[in-house]
């Protein structure tokens, strides 16, 4: 078995908004921002991640796709108010993670690696996509996913929020309707007549679903029997009984993202 160890851990502490003793106390909240960076070794490649801690709150937000940045900014803005930590993969600025093993380049979608079935669907040879992927490449990604979960203790979390951006007319609430591409993921569904279909929540908990439905949000309740195992973090959360909310929004709709994340933070507990 290939063993991976996180390396190159760095802690940086910054105090924002500090004033001299002669100045009047600020009315703005003081933000303690701690930045922690870590690199995981897969084959010949280091995969980078980071965690920012805002204040003393313990709410967790996660961003896995390094090309979806607007949602990260929106999440940080909310965490500045409520406190918590923001975990990001910061590997390349691209959606898929590329790594080399024994001189061959492979890639995977980092939101498809949290089950063995998902790993075996997402890992591919980057040079020849028709080529058979060796078992040791799958095992390397299996171990990376396990270490990512353990390092950030996501398996011990009661709840977390994931942050994603989508494109206009691509992934939407309609994707989960009967006959839609991902209908098998759906236990219950609420389609708003007033909200942009690209702005939606995907959740694993019935109470959270009901609260969002009462607000007339676009929201999907995951079928936690997992009929279609794509290896996503929602599958991991559903199988472990973790309260989970994925916030999906177009990157251009920043204010709407902030509003949605604020709602998610309010009701997830």
Q: What is the pLDDT of residues 84-140, one digit of tens each?
A: 999 999 999 999 999 999 999 999 999 999 999 999 999 999 999 999 999 999 999
Residue 215 has pLDDT above 80, yes or no: yes
Q: Whole-angstrom Cα distance, residue 230 to residue 246? A: 15
Q: State what percent of residues in the chain have pLDDT above 90.
A: 85
Digit-coded pLDDT (tens) for 18-73: 222 233 333 344 455 689 999 999 999 999 999 999 999 999 999 999 999 999 99
Q: What is the pLDDT of residue 18?
A: 29
Residue 16 has pLDDT above 90, yes or no: no
pTM to 2 decimal places: 0.88
CB 234 within 8 A of CB 246: yes
Per-residue confidence band for 243, with pLDDT thresholds at 50, 70 and 90: very high
Domains of the chain in start order, with CATH, are: 6-15+28-267 (3.40.630)
Q: What is the pLDDT of residue 6?
A: 59
Q: What is the pLDDT of residue 170?
A: 82
Q: What is the DSSP string of the chain?
A: -----EEEEEEEEEEES---TTSPPPSSPPEEEEEEEEEEEETTEEEEEEEEEETT---EEEE--TT--HHHHHHHHHHHHH-EEEEEE-SSSSSSEEEEETTEEEEE-TTS-SSHHHHHHH-EESS-TTSPPPHHHHHHHHHHHHHHHHHTTGGG-SEEEEEEE--TTSS-GGGGSTTSTTGGGEEEEE--SSS-TTSEEEES-HHHHHHHHHTT--EEEE-TT-SS----HHHHHHHTT-EEEEEEE-TT-HHHHHHHHHHHHHH--
Find where tokens 């990512």 sit: 148
Digit-coded pLDDT (tens) for 144-202: 999 999 999 999 999 999 999 998 878 999 999 999 999 999 999 999 999 999 999 99
Residue 1 has pLDDT above 70, yes or no: no
Per-residue confidence band for 12, with pLDDT thresholds at 50, 70 and 90: very low
């Amino acid at each position: 078995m290939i063993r991976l160890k996180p390396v190159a851990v760095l802690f940086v502490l910054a105090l924002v908004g500090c004033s001299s003793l002669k100045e009047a106390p600020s009315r703005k909240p003081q933000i303690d921002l701690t930045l922690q960076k870590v690199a995981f070794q897969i084959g010949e490649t280091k995969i980078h991640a980071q965690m920012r801690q805002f204040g003393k709150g313990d709410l967790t937000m996660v961003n896995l796709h390094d090309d979806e940045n607007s949602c990260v900014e929106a999440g940080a803005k909310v965490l500045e108010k409520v406190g918590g930590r923001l975990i990001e993969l910061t590997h390349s600025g691209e959606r898929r993670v590329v790594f080399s093993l024994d001189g061959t380049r492979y890639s995977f979608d980092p939101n498809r690696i949290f089950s063995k079935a998902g790993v075996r669907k997402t890992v591919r040879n980057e040079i020849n996509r028709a080529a058979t992927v060796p078992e040791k490449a799958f095992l390397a990604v299996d171990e990376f996913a396990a270490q990512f979960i353990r390092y950030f203790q996501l398996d011990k979390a009661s709840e977390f929020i994931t942050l994603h951006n989508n494109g206009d007319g691509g992934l939407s609430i309609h994707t989960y309707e009967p006959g839609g591409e991902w209908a098998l993921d759906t236990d219950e569904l609420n389609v708003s007549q007033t909200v942009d279909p690209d702005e939606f929540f995907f959740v694993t908990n019935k109470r959270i679903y009901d609260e969002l439905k009462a607000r007339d949000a676009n929201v999907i309740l995951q079928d936690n029997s997992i009929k279609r195992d794509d290896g996503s973090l929602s599958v991991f959360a559903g199988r472990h009984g973790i309260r989970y909310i994925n916030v999906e929004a177009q990157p251009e709709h920043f204010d709407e993202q902030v509003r949605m994340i604020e709602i998610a933070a309010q009701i997830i507990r």
